Every structure is written in structure tokens, then in C-alpha cells.
């Protein structure tokens, strides 16, 4: 363990104190509210791999222009295993293609559909053995890009790797799910 020893030589900002409210701990119900807002209608994606939330939002097409409230919790302790990310998206319905794309990044995540502050539907995402017309092939010369179609077959599950059925290149799932390769 090492520590810096120059503390006593640090210049002190005399006569300029911080406002008392800044950095003050908040207790009670507000605490929970500060961490994640409850949403009325929308979706909650839970059990995302730690650090994946921003990429998942990209894959879902949720950008800065998205009008709804988006809450992101990254690297939160999970009851299931280790750390997890979680995103709450107000006013968002998920299409199958968006879900399939997100599943490539977060194959073990859970989707909660919220209506009137209640969970009305809950399911695990899944990656089918064949992923069709969900993402573009990153190979620019691949014939599928001109046709606007694609088929990838799962070759490995852990980590998730898929092979293009046409040019036969093998990709990590995360490479396919990046927005530059999103289809539609």
C-alpha cells in the first residue's frame, strides 16, 4: 500500500467554502430514487453483463435523441452472480430485431415489460442457432450486404461467436451488434 505524502503542502482554498448541500448524504426513500427511477411504461433490461449497458442501448437504437427517460445502472451487485448492468427505458417497446441484436451483447439478460408501474411480462432473451436479418456482416465484400440480408450461425456459446453463412467469417457477437453493423 502506498500513499501520497504531499498533503500538508497542498494549497488550501482559504475563505471559500463549498456549499453545505453539495456532497451531502441523502437518506431514506430519496436514496433509492436517486439510484434508479421507477418507470410507468417501458422496459427494463436486467442482468446485462457488467459494462455492457451503453452498447446495449446503442443496439436497441436508444440514442441521445430518444425522448423517454433512460436510467442506466452499471456494475451493480447482483444476487445472481457478481456485477450486472441494468437499463430502464421509459416509453420503449422492443421489436424482435432490436431484442435479437441486444441478445448478441447480453445473451443472459432478462426483459421486463412495465405497464402502469407493474411488471406485466418477464422473459429471458435468447440467441437462436441461426440469426437471420438482424445484423449486417462486417465484411464489406460479403454478398449479403448488397442484398440487405444476412444469416449467421452460432458456432460457440461461451463466448458467443457466430459465422456468416455466406462469407464464412467468424465473429464475436459483440462485433456484430455494434450500431455500424445494425440492419434496418
List residues binding Zn ion (CB under 5 A). Answer: 137, 139, 142, 164, 166-167
Residue 57: its H or E element: helix 53-59
C-alpha cell of residue 32: 433509492
State the minimum distance, in angstroms, from the CB of residue 171 to Zn ion: 9
For residues 112 and 150, which CB has a smaller minimum distance to Zn ion in the complex? 150
How far apart are alpha carbons 176 and 132 in whole angstroms? 12
State the minimum distance, in angstroms, from the CB of residue 136 to Zn ion: 9
State the minimum distance, in angstroms, from the CB of residue 139 to Zn ion: 5
State the minimum distance, in angstroms, from the CB of residue 178 to Zn ion: 15
For residues 139 and 183, which CB has a smaller minimum distance to Zn ion in the complex? 139
For residues 36 and 167, which CB has a smaller minimum distance to Zn ion in the complex? 167
For residues 78 and 139, which CB has a smaller minimum distance to Zn ion in the complex? 139
Give residue 174's Cα distance to chain centre: 12
Amino acid at each position: 500500500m502506498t500513499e501520497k505524502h504531499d498533503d500538508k503542502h497542498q494549497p488550501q482554498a482559504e475563505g471559500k467554502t463549498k456549499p453545505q448541500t453539495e456532497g451531502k448524504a441523502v437518506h431514506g426513500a430519496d436514496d433509492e430514487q436517486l439510484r434508479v427511477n421507477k418507470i410507468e411504461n417501458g422496459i427494463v433490461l436486467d442482468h446485462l453483463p457488467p459494462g455492457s449497458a451503453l452498447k446495449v442501448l446503442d443496439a436497441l437504437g436508444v440514442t441521445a435523441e430518444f425522448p423517454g427517460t433512460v436510467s442506466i445502472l452499471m456494475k451493480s451487485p447482483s444476487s445472481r452472480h457478481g456485477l450486472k448492468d441494468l437499463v430502464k427505458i421509459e416509453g420503449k417497446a422492443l421489436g424482435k430485431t432490436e431484442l435479437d441484436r441486444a441478445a448478441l451483447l447480453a445473451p443472459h439478460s432478462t426483459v421486463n415489460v412495465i405497464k402502469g408501474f407493474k411488471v406485466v411480462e418477464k422473459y429471458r432473451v435468447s440467441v437462436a442457432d441461426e440469426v437471420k436479418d438482424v445484423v449486417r456482416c462486417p465484411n464489406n465484400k460479403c454478398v449479403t450486404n448488397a442484398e440487405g440480408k444476412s444469416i449467421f450461425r452460432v458456432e460457440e456459446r461461451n463466448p458467443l461467436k457466430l459465422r456468416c453463412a455466406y462469407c464464412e467469417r467468424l465473429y464475436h457477437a459483440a462485433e456484430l451488434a455494434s450500431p455500424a453493423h445494425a440492419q434496418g
